[in-house]
Structure 1
């Protein structure tokens, strides 16, 4: 059966704020059940702020092996459990800001590619551009642009088309500087393996500087839809009554384990029905709010927005 798998890229800063920490913690559970991950801590940046990269994956959709940690990158080999022969490399980056470190950054990527052939997917915050159209003004570092473009040509990577947005970063000034810093590239054999894909932006409702990037892939899987318990349910009126009513019916002629299994299944079904009828409108309002924010994000690329 064909289903949709997602690759989510977000350069988040300001994790001292509770709201952003909650989004980072809860988003994978809501969008894909993050079951495993690997981290890379990077040296502090110019503002002496700790930085890092988190690469996460859903064990139901992907198996991961051969994890490599560089100074600015994390790489791993991915394959679908139902098709172990279709393996590909993913590299997530956090590009540095200093010129000499950018040279080291590209050399690190080039060295990885030379020693790891096969389909390759490269994504993250590169902190550099390779085209003048990737910035909304003429203040360009053309030497850095040529260096980045030469790297892409040497490793034969093509960029995935971002639908609906020209830029992913803003300095949030009165006359903002906008740049396309967060992006995704892939080798031609990766495009052959995943011809049905779409890269689109999400609203910047929890990020003051960047938009989210969401890549949707069609993969073959035989998974069934799982029940997901939402932690905020417990704070809503009627939750306790639904659980109590679903738990109450007795089960006869069964051992304790089967009784427990039956009751838990009843509770899951009852909560799913209750959520669809009572909470669906809340999720719709949240989706509408994000749509409005995304429209503002798009308008900011063409004109100055007034408060």
Structure 2
């Protein structure tokens, strides 16, 4: 099987009308795993999940926002995925999945990264720690809030230490930075465009899904 993964920085789930619009789109896209970043919600209960996903077979886990900043909601179809374990950190929600159809076990982590360099180092440590917990193929995705190369940010002319540390993290964990379909950049404020969102996978994960096509929603 090839699970359909949807990743989306929704920039807040506080408004009922916005949740209804997201629900309509998720129903059309029919994702097996859905990761929503920047929920801006301190708590998420079943009523909020049902307002986003009408499926009664939905499983879910979440990272609370800090004030009105951040937050991650991970949802999955329990008819497709069984969760064996989960780990919620300061910046991420990680789960170990078992495919119902073929029994294949793999791990997924959804991330919303910080904007401060010292906190970014905590993110790399957190993800490396979770990665060491489960000896299975990995898929890490989300809004990391940082680019890797100067070409990924319009108007940026030199690499920063934080960018180098991001690349080192990917190299140390032997992850593959998969290309995204649908545009060179994933974020813009109208003046600056950047690639902040990525899917990072282990070679074993990529080998299991060699024809995977990934699209990050704006």
SS state at 2:73 partner:
strand
Residue equivalent to 1:302? none
Displacement of 1:177: 0.4
Name the SS for the 1:118 alignment partner.
coil
Structure 2, unpaired ranges of 5+: 31-54
Contact 1:42/1:71, CA 8 A, preserved across alignment: no
2:90 corresponds to which of 71, 75, 83: 71
Query: What is the CA-CA distance between 1:18 and the residue it aligns to?
Result: 4.1
Whether 1:15 and 2:33 are equivalent positions in the alignment is no
- Post-superposition Cα deviations, 1:204-238, rounded to whole Å, max 9, x if no partner, equal xxxxxxx1xxxxxxxxxxxxxxxxxxxxxxxxxxx
Q: 1:153 aligns with which of 171, 175, 195?
A: 171
Alignment size in residue pairs: 193
Length-normalised TM-score, structure 2: 0.81
Corresponding residue for 2:45? Answer: none
1:85-143 Cα shifts (integer Å, max 9, x gaps): x1100000010111111111111011111222220000001001111121111255510
Tell me the CA shift for residue 201 of structure 1. 4.6
Q: What is the TM-score normalised by the length of structure 1?
A: 0.59
- Partner Cα separation in structure 1 for residue 135 and residue 177 of structure 2: 18
Does residue 55 of structure 2 align to residue 57 of structure 1? no
1:106-255 aligned within 5 A: 106-138=124-156, 142-172=160-190, 176-202=191-217, 211=218
Could you list the structure 1 runs, at least 4 aligned residues long, displaced by more than 6 angstroms after superposition. none
SS in 2 for 1:138: coil
SS of 1:200's equivalent in the other structure is coil
Deviations 1:50-106 (A, max 9, x none): 43101111112211120110111110011211211x110000001011111111111
RMSD: 1.9
- Alpha-carbon contact 1:42-1:72 (below 8 Å) kept: no
Secondary structure at the counterpart of residue 166 of structure 2: helix
Distance of aligned partners of 1:14 and 1:75 in 2 relative to their CA distance in 1, 3 Å threshold: closer
2:178 and 2:160 map into 1 onto residues whose CA distance is 22
Write 1 or 2 for the structure with the bigger share of helix.
Answer: 1
Which secondary structure does the structure 2 equivalent of 1:198 belong to? coil
My pick for the range that moved more, 21-30 or 158-167, is 21-30
- Structure 1 runs not aligned, ≥5 long: 203-210, 212-307
Q: Give the greater-gyration-radius structure (CA).
A: 1
1:81 equivalent among 74, 83, 100: 100
1:134-185, Cα deviation, whole Å (9 max, x unpaired): 111125551001100110000000111112310000012xxx1000111111
CA-CA distance at 1:42 after TM superposition: 3.0
Aligned residue among 15, 25, 28 for 2:26: 28
- Partners of 2:80 and 2:150 in 1: CA distance: 38
